[in-house]
Structure 1
Amino acid sequence: MAEDMRVKELKTVFSPEQIAMRVRELAAEIDSLYGQEPLVAVCVLKGAFIFFSDLARSLHNQNMELDFIRLSSYGMSSSSSRHVILNKDVEVDIRGKHVLSVEDVVDSGYSMRFLLDRFAARQARSLRLAALVDKHERRQADVTVDFAGFRLNKGFIVGYGLDYAERYRTLPGICEIIPE
């Protein structure tokens, strides 16, 4: 999609109610796995910040630390680049700790492969990945989403933190952009 693409319609794919229910279900799955084990939940900025906030507030782990990382590979384009840039690193020492990376969308998998390899080199006790949307059909790198909110095969989606050229992040649901 071109940066100057004109939007004909924003078609709802997942409603705010569907998202809220699924976030609670994911939190229950994550709580079941980790219990009260020490956990570092890492938000991948910018896209995952709303999902991360809702998910973190739904978790019951009192031994959880929160941190943030920022990667970029898209720029202002709608297609992934294999070149991943680390713009902001975590500040918490993850050595020997369970780490849950929280991402908005995993499609090609290149960014998450980069991140998981980086965390593995720091000797995290375990590494798992939660993603609001898993576009598994587009996967090119060897990455498994351990906690997938929704699976989606196609469509350029925005809302609930996801953007197109920094727009549409604050939509309460997830919508597909239908171009003119």
Structure 2
Amino acid sequence: DNPIELVALDRPNNVKTLTSMAANYDYVVIDGAAKLEDMIAACIKVSDFVLIPVQPSPYDIWAASDLVDFIKARQEVTDGSPRAAFVVSRVVEGTRLGSDVRTALDDYALPVCETTITQRQVYPQTASEGLTVFDADNAKARAETTALNDEILAMLAPAKREVA
């Protein structure tokens, strides 16, 4: 019953097929693990936009360094593509780390989404059930997810294709 087509790509060479597959879609979302360097490099090559989730933790901020380096190296040879931005996720409401993370990310010279995703049980709960927050009775989670979606679409407006 999922309206979103899912394609699993397990090798960097397979990612190259996305270019031809993407022709049939307005958007292609690639969800990848930041530590799989070959896969990430391949995904960055075919992407127009990279959304980098980061938790409000010094460890996550430091871990983003390699991914940012990959993106900036690609931007240097492609006249600025892919565009990229951070989204702060798993924010615990009312904590200082949640607000300080934006300042820490400034060193990377990439935009940070205004929308943050708050630490909520509904996210892992619905994922484990094969659902989304739109299937749950949690207005705050739906609102922040919708806000992030709208913000990403606004950033993509000049060039619609893939999101990694």
TM-score by length of 1: 0.32
Higher strand share: 1
TM-score by length of 2: 0.34
